[in-house]
């Protein structure tokens, strides 16, 4: 809230070094490892963007795939007419607009309505896009040919992740971030201290959605041929939720802790046993609820706190994980 | 007589067929500390919720100064200058004491933020007797300390009208004395307060005036000693036989 | 007219599925996103009973419904009750139950995909024309509708004319007060959840007689059931029934008048209208 903390300074330096090291990847390798790297950074961006909104508000959003698809289509539709940078801006604006619509319809109400609304949203948009394509364009897909290499996409996604982080950090320090923490704690109190809760949530959801849309836009050249079935893939939403919650949403970097192992696991399984991958997703959700309710980072912090307290004062610390819930 | 800061005019709230507040009217002048009392279920807390916007009225009007506030959302009413505490204490559990208090000032009035908000919140915590506890997580605090934090949060808004919903309930006798002193002090500084309370000692000590409700209706309105001696009020509390 | 009849017939089955979810969410307070998997599982069991053992699906319900009851009761007792116990407030329980039932959704869907593959299934049961007002309709749809109405009526009788049913309605209104009048809330909630699962399974069995199903369609039906429940007003049995018919009619209308690919859009359009104008449910009076 005031000035820059020593911890934050340390985080900034670590982040900078990590970013520099990671950006070397395309220079060192290509093919499988680079393409895996792209997936990794993509999910890092998406799940960080997700937890910008869902972390503090605890509204489980399943709209990531819808934003992603909108971003992809923004590029595919106007690639020949407009420069790529403009397309990215369009992707961000279109996604933010969609987020505003979803928010206006559901965020005044309880979290359940929001989850349900976003649950079918990707499928809804896919149906509408398919329908309008076959009706008005008489074709199913769109070609996206660009000069971007896999390395370029990797760098763009890495920059996007860094941008998501910076914005997240700025929000956390701002009144908006504080308002959201209050809302997450007690919405009634939030309103009684003068926070327009619905508006705050909508604004944050728009920011989060815009980043997911940009991620979709950047990924568009990779698909070369874009059709609704591939661009609007609901699994993306679920993967993002799992990774973010597995890592923990209390800290900005929490989701990253979940992204790496889960991307590896899914990469290994999805290629060989596509049906089993659903079971893994199911088990991951159950594990989040029953074993790691505040994610890996939450668990670590809790254990550290307990250790510190028992060393310092000898007072019993509250239990970690299971009993506490996602507090 | 000073002009009314708050005017409640024929306020009515019905839940289905149950009329919880039945055409109640009263005024509160600038700087007054009034007690809103009555037996359980008489509609006091409902009345408070109507003033703070937690509930929307069925009919009637509430004005703060010249502005009509009835029917507004709670966040708008907070910005108009009404702050409150809750019957069952509601602190923000994931935050420290000082963050809880900053929450009270960051979104109303001058929207104080940053270093100034920190200083203000620190001073308020000192004020309610929590010196040196700024960075304690509220979830580790005792009930009375949480109540203090909640009061500091309400004061942080620098409200034109402060609503206390049974702020003294659940305190032990020594805590109660401290609590009564604290409210008295705040009142003497000129802050306008409505307190819903069951602790009669506190009402007698603190309130210049009392509004008594029973079954949703206002049955008495006057100085504390007069009102508490009123046969209607005694009947409402104790039943017919003792009147 | 044809739209009206087809839509009503479809609505009958939807009503059954949505009543199941109403019991689970309205009374047991568990937002069960794996509800559709119970439905799909029932479809497969009915299919298996019919094609292997030649059991009439209507009779099959006698086996399927109790099986679903037991299975859902076990799920509640083992997985969901611990969540209810640890939840500090309703919001936390909602997030936890949403995530946990997502887990179940994917787990069951994955298991069914492993067992049956991704192919579409159907079987021929009473696939003969039946004339209503001169127009022919598939007899299986009519039979499914009648059976659905019967099961719903039984539920209605149970809820409004038995002690146990009154207990279910009581915890739907207010679990805390229900406890005060000596209702075992935890047990009643478990029972409501199990009963809800059984109803959904009945809906699935009836659906399988006229609908082509596959292992991964559960989510779509969960979605529809959820929207019906919200339209009807959470916990409102009559509202949910009415909403089911509205949804059945509007889906049929959109599918036959505009494009079958846009049924979900029709569902969402209704959903948005309800959220914007009557979030408390179509039959309920506006409350604060």
Predicted confidence (pLDDT) per residue in B14-53, tens digit: 987 888 999 999 999 999 999 999 888 888 999 999 999 9
pLDDT value at residue B171? 86
Going from the N-terminus, what domains does chain B have, and what CATH number goes with each? 1-79+161-170+191-243 (3.40.50.300), 82-158 (no CATH)
Higher pLDDT, C122 or B81: B81
CA distance A7 to A251: 13
Q: What is the pLDDT of residue C284?
A: 65
Q: Tell me whether residue A139 is in a domain.
A: yes
Q: Is the residue at A290 inside a domain?
A: no
Q: Do C107 and A58 touch (CB under 8 A)?
A: no
Q: Per residue in B200-223, pLDDT tens? A: 888 888 998 999 999 899 999 998
Contacts of A286 in chain C (CB under 8 A): 79, 100, 103-104, 107
In a domain, A175, yes or no: yes
Question: A158 vs chain C: nearest CA distance in angstroms?
Answer: 29
Q: Do B92 and A186 touch (CB under 8 A)?
A: yes
Tokens coding B158: 């620098």
pLDDT digit string (tens) for A36-72? 899 999 999 999 999 999 888 888 999 999 999 999 9
Give yes or no for B16 touching A (CB within 8 A).
no
Residue A65 falls within a domain, yes or no?
yes
- The confidence score (pLDDT) of residue A322 equals 37
Residue pair A325/C96 in contact by the 8 Å Cβ criterion: yes
- Closest among C1, C5, C14 to C263, alpha carbons compared: C14
Interface of A with C in 201-260 (CB under 8 A): 238, 241, 245
CA distance C60 to chain A (A): 28
Nearest C-alpha neighbor of A26 from the set A146, A215, A161, A153: A153
Neighbours of C, requiring at least 3 CB pairs below 8 Å, are A, B
Contact C262, A127 (CB under 8 A): yes
The answer to whether residue A196 sits within a structural domain is yes
- pLDDT for C91-146, tens place per residue? 788 889 999 999 999 999 999 988 888 888 888 777 777 777 777 778 888 888 88
Question: How many angstroms away from the CA of A111 is the closest CA of chain C?
Answer: 8
The three-state secondary structure class of B228 is helix
- Report the residue count for chain B: 243
The string over A34-57, giving b where at least 16 C-beta atoms fall within 10 Å of a residue's C-beta and e elsewhere, is bbebbbbbbbbbbbbbbbbbbbbb
**Chain segment A233-285, per-residue pLDDT in tens:** 888 999 999 999 988 887 888 888 889 888 888 888 877 777 788 888 899 99
Distance between A169 CA and the closest CA of chain C, angstroms:
25
Q: CB under 8 Å, gap of 24 or more: what pairs does C273-280 form?
A: C274/C227, C274/C230, C274/C231, C275/A105, C275/A106, C275/A109, C275/A113, C275/A117, C275/C230, C276/A105, C279/A109, C279/A113, C279/C230, C280/C233
Check A281 against C100: CB less than 8 A apart.
no
Neighbours of A185 (CB within 10 A): 22
Q: Which of B74, B102, B115 sits opposite A191 (nearest CB)?
A: B74
Which tens digits make up the pLDDT trace of C246-277? 999 998 898 888 888 788 888 888 888 888 88
Please tell me the distance from the alpha carbon of residue C141 to that of residue C130, in angstroms, as a whole number. 9
Residue A326: the pLDDT is: 37
In the predicted model, is pLDDT for residue A195 greater than 70?
yes
Closest CA to B82 of B74, B93, B91: B74
CB B187 within 8 A of CB B17: no
Domain contains A256 = no
pLDDT recorded at residue B2: 60
* DSSP-assigned letter for residue B109: T
Radius of gyration from C-alpha coordinates of chain A: 20
Instruction: Report the alpha-carbon distance of residue B212 to residue C229 in Å, rounded.
Output: 43
**Closest residue to B92, CB basis, from A175, A185, A197:** A185
Residue B6's φ and ψ, nearest 5 degrees, are -120, 130
Q: Do A193 and B78 touch (CB under 8 A)?
A: yes
Collect all residues of chain C within an 8 Å Cβ-Cβ radius of residue A106. Answer: 275
Chain B residues within an 8 Å CB radius of C91: none
| Residue B242 pLDDT exceeds 60 | no
Which residue do the tokens 């679990």 mark? C175
What is the per-residue pLDDT across B136-191, written as a single tens digit (0 to 9) for each?
Answer: 999 999 988 999 999 999 999 999 999 999 999 888 888 899 999 999 999 999 99
C176 contact B CB<8A: no
Tally A–B CB contacts below 8 A: 75
Task: Calculate the dihedral angle through the C-alpha atoms of B200, B203, B205, B208, rounding to the nearest 10 degrees.
Answer: -150
Q: Which residue of A has its CA nearest to C30?
A: A112
Q: Work out the minimum CA distance from A3 to partner chain B, whole angstroms.
A: 9
Mapped onto helix, strand or coil, the DSSP state of residue B27 is strand
CA distance linking residue C250 with residue C287, whole number of Å: 28
What tokens does A53 get?
Answer: 């909104």
User: What percentage of chain A reaches a pLDDT higher than 90?
Assistant: 40
Q: How far is C55 from chain A (nearest CA, A)?
A: 30
| Structural tokens at position A256 | 């990253």
Task: Kindly list the partner chains of chain B, i.e. chains with 3 or more CB atom pairs below 8 Å.
Answer: A, C
Nearest CA to C138 out of C127, C124, C147 is that of: C127
Cβ under 8 Å to B: A residues 150-179 = 175, 178-179
Q: C288 at the B interface (CB within 8 A)?
A: yes
What would the pLDDT profile of C155-214 be if each residue is shown by its tens digit?
Answer: 989 989 999 889 988 888 888 888 888 888 889 999 999 999 999 999 999 999 888 888
In a domain, A118, yes or no: yes
In a domain, A295, yes or no: no
How far separated are the first and last CA of chain A, in Å rounded? 22
Give C102 to chain A, closest Cα distance, Å.
Answer: 7
Using a CB–CB cutoff of 8 Å, tell me whether A2 touches chain B: yes
Partners of A287 on chain C (C-beta within 8 Å) are: 103
pLDDT score of B160? 94
Closest chain C residue by Cα to residue B58: C288
**Hey, what domains does chain C have and what are their CATH numbers?**
2-277 (1.10.3470)
Distance CA C20, CA C237 (A): 10
The tens digit of pLDDT for each residue in C63-91 reads 999 999 999 999 999 998 889 888 877 77
For residue A11, name the pLDDT band (cuts at 50, 70, 90): confident
Q: For residue A185, give its domain range.
A: 6-234
In contact, C92 and B93? CB cutoff 8 Å: no
Nearest to B84 among A181, A184, A192 (CB): A192
């Amino acid at each position: 809230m005031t000035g820059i903390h020593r911890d934050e300074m340390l985080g900034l330096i670590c982040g900078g070094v990590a970013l520099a090291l990671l950006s070397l990847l395309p220079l060192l390798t290509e093919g499988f490892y680079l393409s895996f790297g792209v997936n990794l950074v993509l999910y890092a961006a998406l799940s960080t963007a997700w937890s910008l909104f869902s972390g503090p508000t605890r509204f489980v959003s399943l709209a990531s795939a819808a934003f992603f698809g909108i971003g992809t289509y923004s590029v595919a539709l106007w690639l020949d007419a407009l420069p790529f940078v403009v397309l990215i801006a369009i992707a961000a604006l279109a996604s933010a607009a969609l987020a505003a619509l979803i928010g206006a319809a559901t965020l005044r109400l309880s979290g359940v309505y929001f989850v349900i609304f976003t649950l079918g949203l990707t499928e809804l948009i896919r149906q509408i896009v398919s329908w309008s394509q076959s009706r008005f364009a008489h074709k199913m897909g769109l070609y996206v040919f660009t000069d971007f290499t896999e390395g370029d996409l990797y760098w763009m996604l890495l920059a996007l992740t860094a941008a998501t982080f910076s914005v997240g950090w700025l929000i956390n320090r701002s009144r908006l971030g504080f308002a959201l923490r209050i809302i997450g704690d007690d919405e009634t109190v939030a309103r009684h201290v003068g926070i327009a809760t619905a508006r705050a949530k909508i604004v944050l959801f728009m920011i989060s959605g815009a980043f997911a849309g940009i991620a979709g836009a950047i990924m568009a050249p990779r698909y070369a041929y874009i059709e609704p079935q591939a661009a609007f893939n609901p699994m993306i939403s679920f993967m993002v939720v799992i990774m973010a919650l597995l890592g923990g949403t209390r800290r900005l970097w929490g989701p990253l802790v979940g992204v790496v192992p889960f991307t590896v696991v899914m990469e290994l399984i999805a290629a060989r046993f596509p049906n089993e991958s659903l079971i893994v997703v199911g088990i991951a959700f159950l594990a989040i609820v029953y074993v790691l309710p505040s994610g890996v980072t939450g668990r670590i912090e809790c254990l550290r706190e307990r250790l510190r307290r028992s060393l310092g004062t000898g007072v019993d610390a509250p239990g970690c994980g299971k009993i506490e819930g996602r507090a | 007589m000073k002009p009314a800061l708050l005017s409640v005019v024929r306020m009515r709230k019905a839940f289905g067929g149950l009329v919880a507040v039945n055409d109640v009217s009263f005024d509160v002048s600038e700087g007054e500390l009034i007690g809103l009392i009555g037996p359980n279920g008489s509609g006091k807390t409902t009345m408070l919720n109507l003033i703070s916007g937690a509930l929307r009225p069925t009919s009637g009007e509430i004005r703060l100064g010249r502005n009509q506030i009835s029917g507004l959302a709670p966040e708008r009413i907070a910005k108009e200058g009404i702050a409150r505490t809750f019957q069952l204490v509601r602190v923000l559990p994931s935050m420290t004491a000082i963050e809880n208090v900053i929450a009270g000032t960051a979104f109303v009035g001058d929207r104080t933020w940053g270093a100034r908000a920190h200083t203000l919140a620190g001073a308020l915590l000192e004020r309610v007797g929590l010196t040196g506890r700024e960075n304690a997580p509220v979830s580790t605090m005792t009930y009375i300390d949480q109540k203090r934090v909640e009061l500091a949060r309400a004061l942080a808004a620098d409200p034109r009208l402060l609503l206390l919903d049974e702020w003294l309930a659940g305190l032990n006798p020594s805590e109660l004395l401290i609590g009564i002193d604290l409210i008295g002090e705040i009142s003497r500084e000129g802050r306008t307060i409505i307190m819903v309370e069951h602790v009669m000692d506190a009402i007698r000590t603190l309130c210049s005036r009392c509004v008594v409700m029973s079954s949703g209706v206002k049955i008495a309105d006057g100085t504390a000693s007069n009102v508490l001696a009123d046969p209607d009020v005694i009947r409402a509390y104790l039943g017919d036989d003792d009147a | 007219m044809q739209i009206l009849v087809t839509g009503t017939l479809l609505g009958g089955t939807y009503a059954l599925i949505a009543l199941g979810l109403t019991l689970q969410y309205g009374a047991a307070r568990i937002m069960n996103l794996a509800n559709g998997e119970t439905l799909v599982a029932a479809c497969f069991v009915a299919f298996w009973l019919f094609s292997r053992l030649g059991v009439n699906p209507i009779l099959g319900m006698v086996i399927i419904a109790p099986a679903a009851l037991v299975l859902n009761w076990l799920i509640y007792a083992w997985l969901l009750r611990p969540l209810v116990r640890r939840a500090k407030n309703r919001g936390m329980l909602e997030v936890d139950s949403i995530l946990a039932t997502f887990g179940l959704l994917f787990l069951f869907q994955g298991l069914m995909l492993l067992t049956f593959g991704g192919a579409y299934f159907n079987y021929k049961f009473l696939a003969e024309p039946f004339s209503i007002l001169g127009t022919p309709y598939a007899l299986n749809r009519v039979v499914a509708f009648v059976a659905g109405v019967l099961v719903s009526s039984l539920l209605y009788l149970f809820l409004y004319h038995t002690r146990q049913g009154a207990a279910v309605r009581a915890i739907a209104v207010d679990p805390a007060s229900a406890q005060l009048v000596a209702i075992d809330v935890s047990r009643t909630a478990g029972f409501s959840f199990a009963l809800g699962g059984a109803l959904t399974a009945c809906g699935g069995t009836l659906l399988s007689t006229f609908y082509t199903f596959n292992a991964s369609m559960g989510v779509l039906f969960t979605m529809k059931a959820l929207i019906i429940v919200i339209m009807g007003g959470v916990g409102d049995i009559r509202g949910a029934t009415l909403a089911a018919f509205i949804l059945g009619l509007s889906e049929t209308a959109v599918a036959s008048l505009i494009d079958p690919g846009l049924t979900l859009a029709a569902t969402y359009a209704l959903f948005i209208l309800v959220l914007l104008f009557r979030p408390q449910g179509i039959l309920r009076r506006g409350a604060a």
